[in-house]
């Protein structure tokens, strides 16, 4: 069985000009069930090459950051370390330094692919190296040697705040505006004496992926407030500083995977861009070109347990999902119902026929307040969906995305099954206090449950929900299991 794979190689010529080269490669796949649907896999390989452009001179400062010439796919990032300098003993300090050295030793600091920064804290914050200042491997190693043993309180919150404002600012060398992955790594062995939640949230909202290494004594609950979602992957707990060095190889892999996956997501989004317009080298609006026709409903929890600013994040989530699709009467249509113990149709599936009007309608949604009755809300939306279906010439896929932060006071299983019986695919996004059993009952399958610790995890959840919706069509009837044995890139 031979299936064609398209390998799209993207050559970034300048910041805005993008050239796409398509190559055809053959791949063998093992197919377990007879194939009814043609399976087309897209493998996106990104080669970042800047033709012309900056000459790598050191004259660039501030927002005008030189763009990398050619980077390994896993080494284009701005990476800041924030270490607690009150480590107790000289040996611990040496272990910490060795860890930092080992992690950064094999990284490609030159050519501006990877930029490294180093800050430390105890009761006050110290900056050893800004992203723009250590332009070589050995310079950064020298900065690591300057770390010294400190005593004093642990003000991690203040340190994170300073890292956001100063460490990750464009004038310090951050290339966030160019879409370069932003990553922070915190190392500490004790609980923080100040509050961390707000400072860390602000940092993550600026697109920084936050990892934490907790040495015995650190407060794991607090680290969970700090790191990016999912904490199971971003927190590493260790018994002692001595364990850091042993762990350095694995951690380096983890970082590289993160960078690689961020860069690949950008590339994938570019490939899927519905308008074909790449705004800059990395800033691409995304879309699901395959989902030509579908009805998409949002059922959003507006109960009082949700703070207003978090409700705004739910709306941002809706806008971000909508942006991924082509909106129109014969394309993707979107409807929304808000609920608490009341229900309100925010807009019906045929109310808005273009994305401008739709976006405006989402922005205008006002939070209801009240208790959480998700079951009743699910029952409420079913007749709406039935009515919407009658307006279509053909049957099109129908998706319902439920967003909730709380435990429902009524049963959800039966209402959800009534929806599923009519071929409505339910995705659920639970945040914070949401009851996992109920989420599972609403979605009907674990793979359609997304769970976020915090509201800012909605950002990464969005990608998962959309990816899942956009790939669901191909496996609608027969389940096709395939595994790629090998693929050969024809020399090009």
Ligand X SMILES: *[C@@H]1O[C@H](CO)[C@@H](O)[C@H](O)[C@H]1NC(C)=O
Q: Kindly identify the residues of this chain, within the stretch 46-105, that bind ligand X according to CB under 6 A.
A: 98, 102
Of the two residues 95 and 258, which places its CB atom closer to ligand X in the complex? 95
Residue from 59, 138, 221, 394 touching ligand X (CB under 6 A): that is 221
Neighbours of 369 (CB within 10 A): 15
Q: How far is the CB of 254 from ligand X (least distance, A)?
A: 14
The yes or no reply on residue 432 touching ligand X (CB under 6 A) is no
Between residues 346 and 405, which has the closer beta carbon with respect to ligand X?
405
The binder of ligand X chosen from 161, 245, 258, 346 (CB under 6 A): 245
Among 14, 133, 219, 460, the residue binding ligand X under the rule CB under 6 A is: 219
**Rounded CA gap, 468 and 458, in Å?**
15
Alpha-carbon gap, residue 351 to 72, rounded angstroms: 47
Nearest distance in Å: CB 471, ligand X: 29
Residues 53, 56, 66, 191: which binds ligand X (CB under 6 A)? 191
Closer CB to ligand X, residue 219 or residue 264? 219
Give min distance, CB of 203 to ligand X, in A. Answer: 16
Q: Which residue has the tokens 């039966």?
A: 414
Applying CB under 6 A, which part among 31-39, 115-123, 351-359, 431-439 lies near ligand X?
431-439
> In the stretch 149-188, what mask flags binding to ligand X with x, by CB under 6 A?
----------------------------------------
Smallest distance from ligand X to CB 99, Å: 8
Residues 298-317 touching ligand X, rule: CB under 6 A, are none
Region 95-124 residues binding ligand X, contact defined as CB under 6 A: 98, 102
Q: Name the residue nearer to ligand X (CB basis): 105 or 482.
A: 105
Residues 355-384 contacting ligand X, CB under 6 A: none
Residue 27 or 196 having the CB closest to ligand X: 196
List Cα–Cα distances, 32 to 36, 478, 479, 481, in angstroms.
12, 11, 9, 6
Distance CA 446, CA 427 (A): 10
Stretch that binds ligand X, among 201-209, 240-248, 308-316, 320-328 (CB under 6 A): 240-248
User: Is residue 236 a contact point for ligand X (CB under 6 A)?
Assistant: no
Closest CB 95 distance from ligand X, rounded Å: 10
Label the pairing between strands 332-339 and 343-347. Answer: antiparallel
Among 120, 248, 338, 450, binds ligand X (CB under 6 A): 248
User: Which residue from 6, 11, 407, 480 is in contact with ligand X, where contact means CB under 6 A?
Assistant: 407
* 438 touches ligand X (CB under 6 A): yes
Binding-site member from 249, 253, 360, 386 for ligand X (CB under 6 A):
249
Segment contacting ligand X (CB under 6 A): 167-175, 361-369, 374-382, 433-441?
Answer: 433-441
> Whole-number minimum distance, CB 59 to ligand X, in Å?
34
| Edge-first strand listing for the sheet containing 235-238 | 125-129, 114-121, 77-84, 182-188, 208-215, 235-238
Residue 437 touches ligand X, criterion: CB under 6 A = yes
Residue with Cβ nearer ligand X (349 or 428): 428
C-beta closer to ligand X: residue 194 or 207:
194
Shortest Cβ 438–ligand X spacing (Å): 5
Least distance CB 212 / ligand X (angstroms): 13
Least separation in angstroms between residue 391's CB and ligand X is 35
- Give the total of residues touching ligand X (CB under 6 A): 14
Query: End-to-end CA distance of the chain, in Å?
Result: 24
Q: How many CB atoms lie within 10 A of CB 326?
A: 16
CB of 219 or CB of 371, closer to ligand X: 219
Question: SS3 sequence, the chain?
Answer: CEEEEEEEEEEECCCCCEEEEEEEEEEEEEECCCCCCCCCEEEEEEECECCCCCCCCCCCCCCCCCCCCECCCCCCEEEEEEEECCCCCHHHHHHHHHHHHHHHHCCCCHHHCEEEEEEEECCCEEEEECCCCCCCHHHHHHHHHCCCCCCCCCCHHHHHHHHHHHHCCHHHCCCHHHCCCEEEEEEECCCCCCCCHHHHHHHHHCCEEEEEEEEECECHHHHHHHCCCCHHHHEEEECCHHHHHHHHHHHHHHHHHHHHHHHHHHHHHHHHCCCCCECCCCCECCCCCCCCCEEEEEEEECCCCCCHHHHHHHHHHHHHHHCCCCECCCCEEEEEEEECCCEEEEECCCCCCCHHHHHHHHHCCCCCCCCCCHHHHHHHHHHHHHHHHHCCCCCCCEEEEEEECCCCCCCCHHHHHHHHHCCEEEEEEEECCCCHHHHHHHHCCHHHEEEECCHHHHHHHHHHHHHHHHHHHHHCCCCCCEEEEEECCCCC
140 or 282: CB nearest ligand X: 140
435 binds ligand X (CB under 6 A): yes
Q: Which stretch binds ligand X (CB under 6 A): 110-118, 139-147, 415-423, 430-438?
A: 430-438
Q: Which residues bind ligand X (CB under 6 A)?
A: 98, 102, 191, 219, 221-222, 245-246, 248-249, 407, 435, 437-438
């Amino acid at each position: 069985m031979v299936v064609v794979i398209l390998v799209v190689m993207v050559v970034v010529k300048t910041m805005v000009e993008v050239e796409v080269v398509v190559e055809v490669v053959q791949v063998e796949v093992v197919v377990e069930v007879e194939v009814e649907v043609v399976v087309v896999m897209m493998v996106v390989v990104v080669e970042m090459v800047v033709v012309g452009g900056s000459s790598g001179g050191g004259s660039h400062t501030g927002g005008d950051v030189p763009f990398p010439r050619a980077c390994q796919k896993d080494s284009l990032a701005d990476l800041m370390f924030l270490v607690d300098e009150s480590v107790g003993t000289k040996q611990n300090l040496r272990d910490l330094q060795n860890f930092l050295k080992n992690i950064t030793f094999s990284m490609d600091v030159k050519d501006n692919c990877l930029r490294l920064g180093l800050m430390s804290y105890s009761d006050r914050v110290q900056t050893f190296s800004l992203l723009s200042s250590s332009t070589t491997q050995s310079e950064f190693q020298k900065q690591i040697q300057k770390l010294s043993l400190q005593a004093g309180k642990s003000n991690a919150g203040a340190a994170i705040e300073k890292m956001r404002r100063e460490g990750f600012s464009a004038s310090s060398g951050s290339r966030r505006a160019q879409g370069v992955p932003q990553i922070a790594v915190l190392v500490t062995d004790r609980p923080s004496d100040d509050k961390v939640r707000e400072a860390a949230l602000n940092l993550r909202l600026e697109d920084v992926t936050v990892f934490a290494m907790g040495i015995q004594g650190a407060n794991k609950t607090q680290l969970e407030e700090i790191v990016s979602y999912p904490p199971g992957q971003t927190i590493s707990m260790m018994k002692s500083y001595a364990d850091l060095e042993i762990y350095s190889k694995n951690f380096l892999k983890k970082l590289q995977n993160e960078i690689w996956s961020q860069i690949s997501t950008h590339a994938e989004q570019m490939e899927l861009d519905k308008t074909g317009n790449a705004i800059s080298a990395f800033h691409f609006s995304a879309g699901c070109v395959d989902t030509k026709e579908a009805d998409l409903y949002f059922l959003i929890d507006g109960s009082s347990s949700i703070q207003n600013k978090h409700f705004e994040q739910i709306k941002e989530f809706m806008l971000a999902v909508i942006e991924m699709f082509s909106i129109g009467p014969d394309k993707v249509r979107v409807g929304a119902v808000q609920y608490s113990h009341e229900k309100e149709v925010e807009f019906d599936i045929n109310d808005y026929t273009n994305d401008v009007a739709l976006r405006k309608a989402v922005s205008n949604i006002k939070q209801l307040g009240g208790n959480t009755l998700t079951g009743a809300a699910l029952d409420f939306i079913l007749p709406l969906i039935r009515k919407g279906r009658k307006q279509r010439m053909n049957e099109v896929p129908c998706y319902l995305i439920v967003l909730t932060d709380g435990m429902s006071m009524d049963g959800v299983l039966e209402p959800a099954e009534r929806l599923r019986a009519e071929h409505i695919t339910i995705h659920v996004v639970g945040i914070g206090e949401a009851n996992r059993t109920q989420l599972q009952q609403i979605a009907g399958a674990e793979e359609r449950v997304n769970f976020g610790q915090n509201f800012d995890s909605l950002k990464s959840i969005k990608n998962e929900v959309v990816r899942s919706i956009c790939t669901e069509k191909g496996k609608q009837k027969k389940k096709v299991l395939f595994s790629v044995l090998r693929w050969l890139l024809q020399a090009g």
